[in-house]
A and B are shown apart, each in its own frame.
Chain A
């Protein structure tokens, strides 16, 4: 079974603090992909990053960084020097490689991040 757990329901920080959003996944597949999406208050879903199961290198994009650890089945997301505009619900998702070759995203329950000035 495929499952994504985001144990933090809501996190509140003050601007300029660093914050880490946790994501733990379960899959028996050896090939899979992990994603993070952002859902700001306006409601749309914005793609942030994709990582495959064979690439455990950490990735940094501006104030965002991702830490993928296969040994602990985690794909955590850190925002450095948070800003009010980072306030959103963040979703971690898993895409197992189905036997059809097609994709199905399995989402976590999301973490609501509130950044106050």
Chain B
């Protein structure tokens, strides 16, 4: 049973297109995250949602819009894709206790390639 799942696993698309990545967790966690890993393997947080509410929004272009229909799902929609958006996008979740100590569990990643 996959704890944090993402679809699709691979996404190849043309510049200018709009695409979505979906994330679901079955751990009963109430906080979910999106991270971006660039070609040099550097991992950086993009967004975080707690109980469907946005709590972290790092400096990310407006073309990226997260949506959380419920606390088990956090989707990422990207408009007008650019070459620089090519990366691996990881979803993660944690049970937030408001103490900063919770462990984040990551999904398998979505490898996005923009041509």
Give the shortest distance, in Å, between B21 (CB) and chain A (any CB): 15
Q: Give the residue of A45, A46, A91, A97 whose beta carbon is less than 8 angstroms from that of B100.
A: A97
Known: A31-B100, A52-B101. A89 touches B106 (CB 8 A): no
Q: Which positions 36-95 of chain A face chain B at CB distance < 8 Å?
A: 37, 39, 43-47, 50, 52, 89, 91, 95
Q: Mark B74-115, 1 if CB is under 8 A from A, else 0.
A: 000000000000001010101010111111111111010000
Give the shortest distance, in Å, between B13 (CB) and chain A (any CB): 19
Q: Give the residue of B96, B101, B106 whose beta carbon is less than 8 angstroms from that of A50.
A: B101
Give the shortest distance, in Å, between A52 (CB) and chain B (any CB): 6
Total CB contacts across the A-B interface at under 8 A: 74
Determine the residue in chain B with the shortest Cβ distance to A49: B103
Give the shortest distance, in Å, between A51 (CB) and chain B (any CB): 10
Q: CA of A46 to CA of B88 in the docked complex: distance in angstroms?
A: 15
| Residue contact B103 to A109, C-beta cutoff 8 Å | no
Determine the residue in chain B with the shortest Cβ distance to A44: B108
| Residue contact A96 to B100, C-beta cutoff 8 Å | yes
Q: CA of A105 to CA of B88 in the docked complex: distance in angstroms?
A: 17
| Residue contact A43 to B88, C-beta cutoff 8 Å | yes
Across the interface, which residues of A come within 8 angstroms of B42, CB to CB? 107, 109-110
Q: Which positions 14-65 of chain B face chain A at CB distance < 8 Å?
A: 31, 33, 35, 40-45, 48, 50, 55-56
The interface on chain B, measured as residues whose beta carbon lies within 8 A of the other chain's beta carbons, has a size of: 31
Known: A102-B50, A107-B42. A97 touches B99 (CB 8 A): yes
Q: Give the residue of B35, B48, B105 whose beta carbon is less than 8 angstroms from that of A102.
A: B48
Across the interface, which residues of A come within 8 angstroms of B55, CB to CB? 100, 102
Minimum-distance CB pairs A-B, first 10: A101-B98, A97-B100, A45-B106, A107-B43, A103-B100, A44-B108, A33-B101, A110-B41, A102-B55, A43-B109
| 25 A-B interface contacts by CB (under 8 A) | A32-B100, A33-B100, A37-B106, A39-B41, A44-B109, A45-B106, A45-B109, A47-B105, A50-B101, A52-B101, A91-B43, A95-B101, A97-B100, A98-B100, A101-B96, A101-B99, A101-B100, A102-B56, A103-B48, A103-B94, A103-B101, A105-B35, A105-B104, A109-B41, A109-B42
